[in-house]
Amino acid sequence: MSILDRFRLDGRIALVTAGSGPLFGSSISEALAEAGATLITASRSLERNESFAEDLRRRGFDAHAMQFDLENLDSIDLLHAKVLERFGRLDVLVNSALTRDGHTGGLQEQTAEVWRHCGAGDLAGLLRICQLFVADMAREGHGSIVNISSIYGVVANDPTIYEGTDMKQPPSYNFVKAGMINYTRYLASYYGHGGVRANCISPGGYSNEQPEAFVQRYNARVPLGRMMDNEDIQGAVVFLASDASRYVTGANLMVDGGWTIV
């Protein structure tokens, strides 16, 4: 098999949570579909997922839409059952969903209730979806889990880049993203003998119409001199999902333009 063939995902079944989202989700889904995977995109809005999947099918890709709510364990159980009923197995799980409207406010504005709300999806939901699918993957003897964390799961915030804006970085976000990284290592350690790999990607700041003052400070601090765009995460996801990374597990791949090295 050539090195380029190892990046192919033909015959693989891949699920991306929040896979039709306007930020990382849709980019990840598109990349996996282009690499040959049978793609399942799942989030709260079935209508949006159907529209996105239909667009991919018009481009010649094998794409399907399902619905689930990361904050609802019964919804996760139902998604798991539907994936197995329709496809028989899952080869690639990409966890890119995040609790909706949960991570808001700075330290003094956040409450215990905010943290409980975030934990319902970003902790309990992540636990449940991995519990279900990692067991299936281990029975099949193979599988790849890719969790999407953040630079703020690795390092603390730089408060100076937010000066002059109304932007605040909620501590709940740092908490769940840091936990996701070590949870990934746990999965890799316990399920490697079952043929399951678990890795993490920690992206840098994503260009999303932030205030100009913030963008200028961010760009000046990051070695590559710019924020992320839609395509920057795609290669990393395909690499970790495919046989090109078949001896890589428990890793946290920084896709941050060098943010965390300075």
Token pair for residue 43? 């989030």
Q: Is residue 65 part of a domain?
A: yes
CATH number at residue 168: 3.40.50.720
Q: Residue 82: which pLDDT band, with cuts at 50, 70 and 90? A: very high
Mean pLDDT of the chain: 96
Q: Is residue 262 part of a domain?
A: no
CA–CA distance from 184 to each of 35, 95, 128, 208, 247 (Å)?
24, 11, 13, 27, 15
Name the residue with higher pLDDT: 116 or 102. 116
Question: In this predicted structure, what is the pLDDT of residue 168?
Answer: 87
CA–CA distance from 177 to each of 55, 107, 111, 202 (Å)?
31, 16, 18, 9
Per residue in 123-157, pLDDT tens?
A: 999 999 999 999 999 999 999 999 999 999 999 99
Question: In this predicted structure, what is the pLDDT of residue 244?
Answer: 98
Per residue in 166-217, pLDDT tens?
A: 998 899 999 999 999 999 999 999 999 999 999 999 999 999 899 999 999 9
Q: Is 90 exceeded by the pLDDT of residue 22?
A: no
The parent domain of residue 90 ranges over: 3-257
State the total domains in the chain.
1
Q: Is residue 221 part of a domain?
A: yes
Q: Is residue 233 part of a domain?
A: yes
Per residue in 97-108, pLDDT tens?
A: 998 777 889 999
Per residue in 216-255, pLDDT tens?
A: 999 999 999 999 998 999 999 999 999 999 999 999 999 9
What distance in Å separates the CA atoms of residue 134 and residue 130, rounded to the nearest whole number? Answer: 6
Q: Residue 258: which pLDDT band, with cuts at 50, 70 and 90? A: very high
DSSP reduced 3-state for 192: helix
Confidence (pTM):
0.97
What distance in Å separates the CA atoms of residue 204 and residue 226, rounded to the nearest whole number? Answer: 10
